[in-house]
Chain A
Amino acid sequence: MSKQGGKGGAAGKAKKPAKPGADEKREDVLQAVILADSFQDRFRPFTLETPRCLLPLVNVPVIEYTLEFLASNGVQEVFIYCGAHSEDIEHYIHESSRWSPGSAISPFTSLEFIRVSDAHSIGDFLRDLDKRSIISGDFVLVHGDLVSNIQLDAALAKHRARREANRDACMTVVLRSVGEEPHRAAKARGITPVFVVDPTTGRCLQYDETHPLQSEHYVHLDPAVFSHGSFEVRTDLVDCGIDICTPDVLALWSESFDYELPRKNFLHGVLKDWELNGKMLYAEILDDGYAARASNLQMYDCISQDVLERWTLPFAPDSNLLHGQTYRRVKDGSYVEDSVVAERGAKVLQSAVGRGTTIKAGSAISGSIVGRRCRIGKNVRIENSYIWDDTVIGDGTTVVHSVLGGSVVVGANCRVPEGSLISYNVHIDSDVQLPSKPPARISALTDDKHPVKPDVALVGKGGKGAMYEVVHDEDESDDEDGDNRDPAILQSSLIYSLEGFNLSTSSISTLASDDGYDSDDDVSMAGSLQAGEFGQARERLSSFTSDDASKPDNGFHTDAVNGLVDALRADDSDDFDSAKLEFMGLRLANNASDSAMRRAIAVAFVRRAAELLTPAQGALEPSKAAGETFTAKKGAVKFVREVGVGGDEVAQQAEFALAMQKALLGVRDLEAARAGALLAALLQQLYSLDVLEEDGILAWWADKRAAEGESMNALKEKCRVLVEWLENADEEGSSEEEDDEDEDEDSD
């Protein structure tokens, strides 16, 4: 870890007060923390060479917007946390005449870089910040890719008032509403944040995220939400990542060492556990002003257009934010810097063109941003594209909705179709047609920053660069997890598209009335809806957790089953307690329903028993296998009785038996006859271990669901002997039950 202080006088001016007594005075100093690394790679391959916050947005590095936003809000002390490319960012700031910490003209009294060598997430940054104790009062936490013209005064004042009234009101999240109708800013984000907010106080009650790749388009409302008089569930908000925090927030981060993301982990977690931590978080929802984060290429696209259309005023090209810029507004809604040569017959519509660029006759540029010193040939067509500095485009080439990084050379008569991403220094030979589906993503560097071997088929003979493969962490081969794909995949391309994804078809419906809560469905939401009074909320709670056993939460199920089977298999330990603990933990973490648990346990034990039947495991007889399964580990029986069955009631026992029956169907490589035998053995074993009672098994026998379908029926038939024996035993009296184990084997 290294900490770099500002050089020169500016840093000296902002001496940190050593004593709390000085706090009083420092209350007036507004501090801000910029997170200049997001630990994402959504801008790959561009971010291989340049950090995200230095990528040009309308020809101005993104971080300039962020710093200017802070300056316009009167922030005086800034701390910048850098991760990847930290040298580049520091170099940029130090070279900048305006922001350099030593510079007399910097609007900040101090600007410090903080490097954290072992940080792997934003959470690590904030925990580090907590340790440093350089934050003395309220501070503004932003990301290094924020573009906003919001004046925070009102939000800050409200935040202070709340904090004065209640020490636990520790954070205000600033959000911008973008309406319910489809909006480019909303469409671009892939992940939809869902805020549950108390409209009267602005208190944030719950936070969740949804994305189109989920298997369920549902958000489970926390029961605690209903203890508030009224609440709004809002999905129409753009979360621009502006947080007004007290130092308590940092302490919260420190307490939860595993939180990584400020929203998905931190906000969600803190709100969920508010009964534990007692902290209250508020949302400030703005209806005017502009705020957005260039957090992925689609947002980059969206914000660029907004800047051109002046939604972000005063951040428009002709404000000449960056030192030395000389943009002027010219006809046709374009912005042109000095010494731009557009030959006669060249058309520039609603675009921005940087200094020293030449555009030859017959070319048309529309809705695009062209950087400095670019050379654009004759009859070139550029639409809605982003062309960074020093790029050369040959005659007759067409570029549509693409990003061309710096110093790219595109030959004559090429076609760059929609969604192409061409990184720094790539050369594309003349007469090359880049593929459109999927769009090309070309880089001159590999992930480890070595030059790539030119892919001649892609970039032509004289070209430089090769396809850049985006590595996703997801494991496509695992079918069971297919539904929980990482939504980041939606954000890694320039064009938002759901094409090629198998989307779950569970419908999103709007809640029409309170009656909706009584249905077996989860609460679903689209847009913002106002829930009414919930006097009887408690009674209705059960309907909020999905009880549909046919579609349990996959994540929980696989984890739980694997954990249990492993524990049953383990040779070295006889103890089942740790497995039980783990299982309960999983259950709490996933908020799994009873039926999901029952199913998981049944599957785990059945799988183990079936395993014991295989030759590799000794090819035990079904009855031996059943006995081995339940009795080999201490505590397993108790676990099944208490957790698996979950009670003494007949219905629950029948459910468990049914779950085992279903689980047996799912076991591969097991003939039907042996499966039936195993089921009978398992039931008999459980009966003798007092887990299942006679009534339970008989109830299962009578249950219609147990006979659904041919294979189920076949399994069930195998148990007829057992059941008949049980019925007889009932007549004879229950005292002999335990002695009759052997007889059961004959029934195989």
Chain B
Amino acid sequence: MAPSQASHVPTLDSLIKAFNNQLLEASIESLIFLLKRRQVKGDECAKATAHILRQVVAKSKWHDVDQLLSRVQSAGSRVARAAPQEPVIGNVVRRVLGLIRDEASEDRNADDYGSEAASDIQSLAPSAPLPQRPPPVPVRPSPSVIAGGGLQVSKSMFNLLSVADTDSPMTGASTPLSQAQPASVHALRSEVMDGIEEILDEINQADDQIAGFSEIQIHPGDYVLAYQPSRTVERFLVKAASKRRFTVIIAGLESPTHGATEAPYAALRKKLNGAGVKTINLASNGLMAYIPRVNKVIFSAKAVYQNGGLLVDSGCCIAAQAAHEYLKPVIVLSPVYKFCPEDPSDEVSRGELGNPSGYVSYANGPAVDALDIENTVTDYIPPELIDVYLTNLGPQTRHHLASILADHYKTEDIGFNLHLGES
């Protein structure tokens, strides 16, 4: 037996391991093709993007902030284009770009506060691309300060203040920053890399942080409907189970795959039962019958758009609609890094198409020939159906999403997706 050679199939972990022996370009390409081949998907994307951008910052050649920004932008847009179905990638790129701008301006401010601050103010992009952005409220204590994202939040607050006064028509590329001292490149590099580490930490801890709010959201005796529980939802429920006695109804079971020996979500159910929480597996068509009995519906989002709409795994929309009709609260678990400063595109609302074999076996010849099978694997949920967005910074409502976006993304970078068309 050769147990050591478990797998040849490349994964994100094997990619990250290989970073050190690889040229930067090779790493980026490997990731791009992992994304194209769907070997990295879903929640892994954010982590992968942060890792690859860290490599870009560490390995690519740059002499000033501008070059660094363009390196990150070009690498980021290549990665984002490889997987247009994963908007999270763009978010992380924007976060990193904002981080670099912050670090750069911090450096300059330290060097020569007065003169640089003036140019900084002029250079920053106009508020035009984001009309629905709320007027910057100066003294709103950002939740992220509490959650430990403090470093960049303070910077972004500064910028928000500055932006308010400017009406410069200049966009994104921020020319004045190019005056940053080459001598500080080294320092900047390490600071940016530290910053990316923090973003990675945030990504890694987000699930736990969200789970921290579970006992507030779930009350004893609740009937909680979890639609296709993701890892985030699982953590949330397990954490709640340690404090509360309630009942979980697991809905949206996928059709059993070939050779599956275990009942769906067996591991989750075992954990919950161990903690004394009852679980019920519910076939999809039984959903409506149970909705009146349910106290709240919980699922996780793949992305949250700035209008409050959600990109979710297919099927969630039915659960959300049903809950809405019965006036049951719908709670969406979504870490802040999944919040996109953009509106859903036409393609998002049509949903991504998956492999038709989910519905019809390829072996079923007549059906393969006769049918056009569209297996949508994502849904778009309009914002009206959602009651609470539970982020790692705490529960939010739709009306506060804009300020979260403003706290985390720079206006210069919000148009990041516009660069996607270029090559």
In the bound complex, CA of A185 to CA of B366 (Å): 11
Cβ of A88 within 8 Å of any chain B Cβ, yes or no, is no
Cβ of B1 within 8 Å of any chain A Cβ, yes or no, is yes
Cβ of A186 within 8 Å of any chain B Cβ, yes or no, is yes
Indicate if the CB atoms of A72 and B372 lie closer than 8 Å.
no
In the bound complex, CA of A685 to CA of B38 (Å): 81
With both chains docked as a complex, state the minimum distance between the C-beta of B353 and any C-beta of chain A, in angstroms.
Answer: 6
Q: Mark out the residues of chain B between 272 and 308 whose CB falls within 8 Å of any chain A CB in the assembled complex.
A: none
Indicate if the CB atoms of B2 and A164 lie closer than 8 Å.
yes
Choose among B2, B7, B368, B374 the residue that contacts A183 (Cβ–Cβ < 8 A): B368
Indicate if the CB atoms of B23 and A310 lie closer than 8 Å.
no
Choose among B7, B38, B350, B355 the residue that contacts A74 (Cβ–Cβ < 8 A): B7
Neighbouring A residues of B361 by C-beta, 8 Å: 179, 287
Cβ of A446 within 8 Å of any chain B Cβ, yes or no, is no
Task: Tell which of B28-36, B68-76, B139-147, B197-205 binds the partner.
Answer: B28-36
A338-380 near B? 1/0 per residue, CB < 8 Å: 1000000000001000000000000000000000000000000
Indicate if the CB atoms of B373 and A156 lie closer than 8 Å.
no
Neighbouring A residues of B356 by C-beta, 8 Å: 309-311
Neighbouring A residues of B372 by C-beta, 8 Å: 309, 333, 350
Choose among A160, A309, A314, A338 the residue that contacts B37 (Cβ–Cβ < 8 A): A314
Q: A74-B10, A309-B356 are in contact. Are A178 and B369 (CB under 8 A)?
A: no
Interface SS of chain B: loop
Indicate if the CB atoms of B8 and A181 lie closer than 8 Å.
no
Neighbouring B residues of A182 by C-beta, 8 Å: 365-366, 369
Nearest residue, chain B, Cβ from A321:
B36
Neighbouring B residues of A230 by C-beta, 8 Å: none
With both chains docked as a complex, state the minimum distance between the C-beta of B421 and any C-beta of chain A, in angstroms.
Answer: 8
Indicate if the CB atoms of B29 and A72 lie closer than 8 Å.
no
In the bound complex, CA of A179 to CA of B364 (Å): 6
Cβ of A161 within 8 Å of any chain B Cβ, yes or no, is yes
Choose among B7, B37, B355 the residue that contacts A311 (Cβ–Cβ < 8 A): B355
> Contact size class for B?
35 or more
In the bound complex, CA of A176 to CA of B23 (Å): 38
B357-379 near A? 1/0 per residue, CB < 8 Å: 10001111110110011110000
Neighbouring A residues of B357 by C-beta, 8 Å: 288, 290, 311
Cβ of B175 within 8 Å of any chain A Cβ, yes or no, is no
Q: A287-B363, A311-B355, A311-B356 are in contact. Are A28 and B30 (CB under 8 A)?
A: no
B213-247 near A? 1/0 per residue, CB < 8 Å: 00000000000000000000000000000000000
Indicate if the CB atoms of B362 and A105 lie closer than 8 Å.
no
Neighbouring B residues of A156 by C-beta, 8 Å: 8
Q: A68-B37, A164-B2, A179-B361 are in contact. Are A104 and B25 (CB under 8 A)?
A: yes
Indicate if the CB atoms of B366 and A72 lie closer than 8 Å.
no
With both chains docked as a complex, state the minimum distance between the C-beta of B128 and any C-beta of chain A, in angstroms.
Answer: 26
Nearest residue, chain B, Cβ from A13:
B21
Indicate if the CB atoms of A314 and B36 lie closer than 8 Å.
yes
Neighbouring A residues of B36 by C-beta, 8 Å: 314, 319-321
Number of A-B contacts (CB under 8 A): 118
Choose among B29, B84, B257, B354 the residue that contacts A105 (Cβ–Cβ < 8 A): B29
Cβ of B325 within 8 Å of any chain A Cβ, yes or no, is no
Neighbouring A residues of B354 by C-beta, 8 Å: 310, 313
Nearest residue, chain B, Cβ from A75:
B8
Nearest residue, chain A, Cβ from B377:
A313
With both chains docked as a complex, state the minimum distance between the C-beta of B91 and any C-beta of chain A, in angstroms.
Answer: 21
Neighbouring B residues of A225 by C-beta, 8 Å: none
In the bound complex, CA of A221 to CA of B353 (Å): 45
In the bound complex, CA of A184 to CA of B367 (Å): 10
Indicate if the CB atoms of B355 and A310 lie closer than 8 Å.
yes
Indicate if the CB atoms of B364 and A164 lie closer than 8 Å.
no
Indicate if the CB atoms of B9 and A72 lie closer than 8 Å.
yes
In the bound complex, CA of A182 to CA of B355 (Å): 21
With both chains docked as a complex, state the minimum distance between the C-beta of A160 and any C-beta of chain B, in angstroms.
Answer: 5
With both chains docked as a complex, state the minimum distance between the C-beta of A135 and any C-beta of chain B, in angstroms.
Answer: 16
With both chains docked as a complex, state the minimum distance between the C-beta of A64 and any C-beta of chain B, in angstroms.
Answer: 11
In the bound complex, CA of A290 to CA of B258 (Å): 15
Cβ of B39 within 8 Å of any chain A Cβ, yes or no, is yes
Cβ of B20 within 8 Å of any chain A Cβ, yes or no, is no
Nearest residue, chain B, Cβ from A182:
B365
Using CB atoms and an 8 Å cutoff, list the residues of chain B in contact with chain A: 1-2, 4-10, 23, 25-26, 28-30, 33, 36-39, 82, 84, 257-258, 347, 350, 353-357, 361-366, 368-369, 372-375, 421, 423
Would you list 26 pairs from A and B whose C-beta atoms are within 8 A, ordered by A residue?
A: A28-B5, A68-B37, A98-B29, A106-B26, A107-B10, A107-B30, A107-B33, A160-B1, A160-B2, A177-B363, A178-B365, A179-B361, A179-B364, A181-B365, A185-B362, A309-B373, A310-B354, A310-B375, A311-B356, A311-B368, A313-B38, A314-B37, A314-B38, A319-B37, A320-B36, A333-B374
Q: A105-B28, A107-B30, A314-B38 are in contact. List 13 more A-B contacts (CB 8 A).
A: A72-B10, A73-B8, A74-B7, A152-B8, A160-B2, A164-B2, A179-B364, A181-B365, A184-B365, A184-B369, A310-B355, A316-B353, A319-B36
